[in-house]
A = this chain, B = another copy of it.
Amino acid sequence: MPNSKQSPITMDAVYTAPGYLFRRMQQIAVSIFIEECRQFDLTPVQYAALIAIHTHPGIDATRLSAVIAFDRSTLGNVIERLQSKGLIERKPDSGDKRVKLLTLTKQGASLLREIMPLVDRAQARMLQPLKPSDRKMLLALLAQLVDLNNEASRVPLRAEDALEHLGKLG
């Protein structure tokens, strides 16, 4: 048979591309997050940072970046905004003069408790249109793919455990 695949260039080159679907879904996810949490004026990135600082009190910006896999340059601005909102504090490290340690303020901890149910609702809403079994399947495949592609990203995720061992492992 003749090769009928002479690439006619249709919009399918965009619509069916995984990268395009990931972008669209990310935008939808942010939109739903902001809508559910609008009474608190907190972004998804800021939320992740708050969770990480709560889980690792006294963490520094560089390790925070590794724990949530966000770019270090971007995180500088995020931290500044969280600080100006009074949600976190920055204190100089007693040993290393370069480092500034991050902790939640009472306001930050309080906001975190209040907003978590709303975030949970937002996360549920994103997958709502799918059947429960499909939600589970999609989430499992996605988590797997993100993990397997970890090193392909600009800022690979280095979870807490990995971080603690980094010194020993060199």
Contacts and interface: CB of A to CB of B under 8 A. Distances in A.
A4 interface: no
Interface string A126-170: 110110001001110111111011001111010110000000000
Interface stretch (A9-17, A75-83, A84-92, A95-103): A9-17
23 contacts: A7-B116, A11-B55, A14-B68, A16-B143, A18-B123, A19-B33, A19-B123, A20-B44, A21-B143, A21-B146, A23-B44, A24-B153, A26-B26, A27-B154, A28-B146, A28-B153, A31-B153, A125-B152, A126-B145, A129-B144, A129-B149, A130-B144, A137-B137
Contact of A19 (B18, B29, B146): B29
